[in-house]
């Protein structure tokens, strides 16, 4: 019996999956950009970010530029590792479709 690698429940939720996908090629991204890309409210995004932060997958950085306060989000090394493992698991599951055909 082959064991399917388990999907990470923290990452698996669609919005959190999108947050991680967006942040993967980036060093960091601004909170507003994430909100616009996902098309969700500030509070909903904060909730998802908090869950990723609590899991140690994401960290926030607050900075001020010319008096304007901006919040930046970035994946931690643990978050990158967990996301890569999650994508591997999805890839393996998706490959079942090809092997069953």
Partner 1 sequence: MAIFPDDPTPDEATRALTSIERMKQFGLSKGLYSRWFAAAVSSWSAAMAVATVYDGPLATWSVATLLIAGLVALGAWRHRVVARVRAVHGTAEALAIVVAAPLVMLGLGLFAAQAFDASRQWWIPSASGAVAGLVLFTVLELLRNSTRRRVTGRPS
For residue 44, state whether it binds partner 1 (rule: CB under 8 A): no
How far apart are alpha carbons 70 and 95 in whole angstroms? Answer: 41
- With H, G, I as helix, E, B as strand and everything else as coil, classify residue 75: strand
- Spatial contact of 31 and 47, defined as CB atoms under 8 Å apart: no
Span of 24-32, 39-47, 50-58 interacting with partner 1 by CB under 8 A: 24-32
- Quick check: 26 binds partner 1 (CB under 8 A)? yes
- The contact set with partner 1 (CB under 8 A) reads 1-4, 6-7, 14, 17-18, 21-30, 32-33, 37, 65-66, 68, 87, 90-91, 93-97, 100
């Amino acid at each position: 019996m082959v064991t399917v690698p388990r999907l990470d429940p923290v990452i698996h939720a669609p919005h959190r999956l999108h947050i991680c996908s967006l942040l993967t090629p980036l060093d960091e991204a601004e909170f507003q950009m994430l909100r616009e890309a996902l098309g969700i409210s500030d509070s909903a995004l904060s909730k998802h970010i908090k869950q990723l932060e609590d899991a140690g997958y994401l960290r926030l950085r607050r900075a001020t530029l010319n008096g304007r306060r901006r919040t930046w989000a970035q994946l931690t090394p643990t978050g990158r590792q967990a996301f890569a493992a999650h994508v591997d698991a999805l890839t393996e599951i998706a490959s079942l479709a090809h092997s069953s055909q």
